[in-house]
Amino acid sequence: MAKIGDLLRAGRTFSFEFFPPKTDDAQLTLGRTIAELEPLHPAFVSVTYGAGGSTRARTRDVVTWVRRETDITPMAHLTCQGHTRAEIAEILQHYRDADVSNIMALGGDVPNDPADTRPSDYKYASELVADVNEFGCFSVGVAAHPEGHPRSPDLATDRRLLADKLRTADFAITQFFFEADHYIRLVDALDALGVNKPVLPGIMPVTNKGQIVRMADMSGTAVPPWLLDRLSSTDDAHEIRKIGVEVATDLCQALLAAGAPGLHFYTLNRSTATREIYANLNLSSAH
Ligand code: FAD
């Protein structure tokens, strides 16, 4: 199956992120969303990895299903959090056997459940990257945080550690952000540190004001005052989604003009906003 590192060397990639569904209904919604997005010919889709054991199994199931049942290249997310080296080796063996060639190696969100005390053999994502690389058959992506990771002491340290991590991986995907300058500054900083690997901007179309404020708070993303003002101008859900699509379209245009190697959309398992942005950017006809 295609490796994302090779796809990026061949040209721009447009890709989508999903999370593993928790219920049968959510499973149906995701199936429908993938069917609606498949005609857009994404270069790849990625599936996130949760903290709990059952959601972790569902990531494997969704990734393996996409590989087996569709023509889309899947990427499996994998985290340091709560994993021994032996477990990681077993999961990687499963993906190798299933002909899945792309792994996103992440630190992982800390589990909400204080009773969850599973040991981790890994402290930082860079240690996981090293083990995935040892398998020799995966293209490896890592996370980048344009506004800095919330646990980083300062932006310079964040950039230096990201540069070290990205040197050993094939590409990065960023946390979502709302100002193109955050992305441009990140890429410039990596360049100054001698790292030119592709960095795909992560795009989160706003469809709900409360949800975006919560998610931004957790991930260290600033929601700029101009965006809050626009979102506060209406209570109409349809209008808010329209603003979200317009804002994301403008951001995508600025990022592509700045030379971004592609766009990675956080779909939240829905297709409408992403399809509208695609149409605004004329990407449907380009693929
Ligand atoms: P790391 O690279 O380990 O960085 C975490 C912190 O440690 C940073 O502050 C970094 O500067 C610091 N650090 C790194 N190396 C060192 C070192 N050697 N010494 C000292 N400090 C160091 N979470 C999930 O649980 N599941 C997912 O599927 C998921 N998907 C994501 C996809 C994308 C594109 C992004 C951007 C994030 C995703 N996350 C996911 C969230 C991510 O797991 C969290 O942001 C996590 O807190 C950090 O992950 P990381 O891979 O950047 O970690």
Q: Is the CB of 202 under 6 A from ligand 1?
A: yes
Q: How far apart are CA 76 and CA 105, in angstroms?
A: 9
CATH architecture of 4-286: Alpha-Beta Barrel (3.20)
- Give me the pLDDT at residue 53, please: 74
**Of 213, 212, 214, whose CA–CA distance to 204 is shortest?**
212
Q: How far apart are CA 237 and CA 204, in angstroms?
A: 17
Give the alpha-carbon dihedral of 71, 72, 73, 77, to 10 degrees.
-140
Q: Is the CB of 56 under 6 A from ligand 1?
A: no
Centre of ligand 1 from the C-alpha of residue 133, in Å:
18
60: enclosing H helix or E strand:
helix 53-69
Q: At what angle do helices 180-192 and 155-167 cross, to 10 degrees?
A: 60
Q: pTM (2 decimals)?
A: 0.97
- Give me the pLDDT at residue 51, please: 78
Nearest CA owner, ligand 1 atom 42: 108
Q: Is the CB of 221 under 6 A from ligand 1?
A: no
39, 58, 72, 190, 249 from 13: Cα distances, Å = 15, 26, 13, 20, 16
Active site residue 17: yes
Q: List, for residues 101-116, the tens digit of each pLDDT value.
A: 999 999 998 777 777 7
Q: How far apart are CA 160 and CA 170, in angstroms?
A: 17
- Give me the pLDDT at residue 285, please: 62
Asked whether the beta carbons of 146 and 174 are under 8 A apart, the reply is yes
| Single-letter residue type at 269 | N
Centre of ligand 1 from the C-alpha of residue 78, in Å:
11
- Give me the pLDDT at residue 109, please: 85
**Domain segments of the chain as ranges:** 4-286
Q: How far apart are CA 200 and CA 15, in angstroms?
A: 9
Would you say the C-alpha torsion 56, 274, 235, 209 has a positive or negative sign? positive
- Give me the pLDDT at residue 287, please: 58
Centre of ligand 1 from the C-alpha of residue 123, in Å:
10
Q: Which of 18, 106, 174 to mutate to test the pocket of ligand 1 (most atoms within 8 A of CB)?
A: 106
Residue 255 zone, left/alpha/beta (φ > 0; ψ -120 to 50; rest): alpha
Q: List, for residues 192-245, the tens digit of each pLDDT value.
A: 999 999 999 999 999 999 999 999 999 999 999 999 999 999 999 999 999 999
**Of 169, 149, 168, 174, whose CA–CA distance to 258 is shortest?**
174
Which residue numbers in the chain have pLDDT < 70? 285-287
